[in-house]
Structures are given as structure tokens and as C-alpha cells.
Structure 1
């Protein structure tokens, strides 16, 4: 059995509410073991056979059926998540958030699909104010740090929060990722 992390996009924001108990039950109904939700932002830790890409399609179908929305989920094993968190390139700073923007379905050991490559190129080449935020290409993720209070109005915040590409990503604070690995 492999320990996986599922990061759901757009849960408990924008009017889409899924209770943790219902979310955990949806994962258990797929036959997954040791299911645990972490925080209320769509994070599920579970154990299953197979590889992350197989789990993703199955989970998206189940969530879409159970909750009536077009579910988007990024699934990775704990080893991959630990490597991503460990490679975070920006130093911790008081008064700043540390984010990882996950490219839904992108794997660390495979080339990015063209639409995701274009997204990463666009986001990492935005004219950011380095006094307010910094961004870096992490392969299957985008690393981002931003001064607290400016997440939504920063150049990167606006860049990932709008347009058709926003369905390609889900982001988490580095502190949340560390909780998921415990």
C-alpha cells in the first residue's frame, strides 16, 4: 500500500461546501484505507494500491458523481510531496506566506503537458515586485512567496486566480503541506 495525498481544487470556497466527513466517506467508498481529511480546504490522506495517476481519475469521477461538480484533484504520494516541500526555494520570512502551486496532474518524473508548460512560462515571467512577492518554476509545481495581505492582489495572485488556466492549478501553503506529511 502507498500513502497518497489528494489536493482538491476549489473546495469550501466560492459556495462549494463539502463536509470533511462526507469527503472522507467518498474516499472510503473507493476502497481506500486510512482515510483522513486535513483542514477544511480539500486535503485527504489515504492509502491505496497503484500509482497517483490511476487514483486521480478515479477520485475525480467519484467526487463529481457524489457532489455534483466538475472535480479537479491533484494526487501524489508522500515521497513526492516531501521532495516538493523540501525543494522550496525561498527562505521563511516573518509576515510572508509560502505557497506551492500544484499543476493538476503534472508528475515530477514526466514532462509537463503543453498547456501547463505555457501556464508556468506565463506565471514565472510576470513582472513581479520582488519587494512583495517572488515566484520560481519547480517542474511539476510553481513556488511562490508573497507578503501577507497581498495574496489576492499581487501579480501572481491575480495571474493564477483568473482565466481558463485557473482550473489547472490548486495551491497550498507550505505549512499545510508539512501537516499533510506528519
Structure 2
């Protein structure tokens, strides 16, 4: 069995409230193995041997049927979670790197077209202090002054890139990765 992290979008924000104990039970009842939740923001570690698309679709179905809301699910392997930390160009030490709370990896449902990424980076270069870079199905973003004061909202990024995403900061990802290992 493979070990995965399922990143659920929009959990415990807006009207999508769910207790992690209930989330864990719902996924265990649906047949996923060794289900663990990390924090209350939709991070689910699980074991399964099916392909990632099948797992994502089933998890989204469980969320709709058991809790009554739509949520995107981004499934990533342990190596992909590690890469989302290590390959983030804004994470690390030194003056060119941001704080672990402000530096995010936004996991994407698909790889966006490079022309859309280039347009987003070029358009935003004169509008804000945030820094952006693209990886493999992940957008790296240093919010610099905080998510709450940024124009780069989830809705804005979805329109600009043409795909869905869900973000985690470096503190969260390091915690999740330690639980996966």
C-alpha cells in the first residue's frame, strides 16, 4: 500500500465545518487504510493501493454524501510533499527567503499552462510584494505580509491559472511530512 496525503480544500472555513474525528471515521468507513488527520484544516494521511484519480474522486464523493459540501481533494505522495517543501524557492534561510508562516505551496489539480503562469507572474509583478514560482502541480507563493492582505486569493488564482488549488504553509507541511514518516 502507498502512503498518501489528501489535501482537502475549504475545510473548516466558510460553511464547510467538520470535526476531524468525523472526517477520519467517514474515510475509514469508506475503506481507506490507516486514516490519520493532521490539524483541523483538511489534511488526511491514508494508505491505499488504487490510482490517485480514483482515490480523489471517492474522497470527494464521501465529503459530499457524508457532510453535504463540495471540496477538492489533491492527493500527493510522501515524496511529493517533501518536494513541495524542498523545491519551494522562497523557503529556507537568508534574506531572500520568507518566514515559514508566510511561504506556501499551493497544490494544484493539474499543471497549468505555462502561458497562464507567465501572465500571472508578469501581471502581479507590479501589483504586490508577493513572490510566485511554479513547480510540478504546485504554485510556490511567498505572501510576504500575510494571506489576509493579499489580492492573490484562491478564487483569483483559480481564474488566472485555470485549475483548482489548496494551500499549506511551510509550518503545516513540515508537520504533515513528519507524521507521514
Q: Classify the TM-score, shorter chain.
A: 0.7 to 0.9
Counterparts of 1:179 and 1:13, CA distance in 2: 20
Q: 2:135 aligns with which of 138, 155, 173?
A: 138
| 3-state SS in 1 of match to 2:39 | coil
CA contact (8 A) 1:97 1:145 kept: yes
**In 2 relative to 1, CA 119–72 (structure 1 residues): closer, same or farther, beyond 3 Å?**
farther
Correspondence for 2:45: 45
Counterparts of 2:101 and 2:31, CA distance in 1: 40
| 3-state SS in 2 of match to 1:147 | coil
Q: 2:155 aligns with which of 157, 161, 167?
A: 161
Q: TM-score, normalised by structure 1?
A: 0.82
Cα RMSD between the aligned structures?
2.5
Is 2:90 the partner of 1:93?
A: no
Counterparts of 1:25 and 1:95, CA distance in 2: 31
CA contact (8 A) 1:96 1:145 kept: no
Counterparts of 2:149 and 2:103, CA distance in 1: 16
CA contact (8 A) 1:96 1:146 kept: no
After superposition, give the CA deviation of every residue in 1:6-50 in whole Å (9 maximum; x if it has no partner): 111111001210100111011101212221110111100111112
Correspondence for 2:11: 11
**In 2 relative to 1, CA 96–49 (structure 1 residues): closer, same or farther, beyond 3 Å?**
closer
| 3-state SS in 2 of match to 1:71 | coil
Correspondence for 1:109: none
Q: Which runs of 5+ in 2 are unaligned?
A: none
Correspondence for 1:177: 173
Counterparts of 2:142 and 2:83, CA distance in 1: 18
| 3-state SS in 2 of match to 1:125 | helix
| 3-state SS in 2 of match to 1:161 | helix
**In 2 relative to 1, CA 26–127 (structure 1 residues): closer, same or farther, beyond 3 Å?**
same
Correspondence for 2:20: 20
| 3-state SS in 2 of match to 1:88 | coil
Counterparts of 2:84 and 2:62, CA distance in 1: 27
Q: Which moved more, 1:128-137 or 1:51-60?
A: 128-137
| 3-state SS in 1 of match to 2:133 | strand
Q: 2:123 aligns with which of 123, 126, 146?
A: 126
Counterparts of 2:100 and 2:140, CA distance in 1: 17
Q: Which runs of 5+ in 1 are unaligned?
A: 107-111
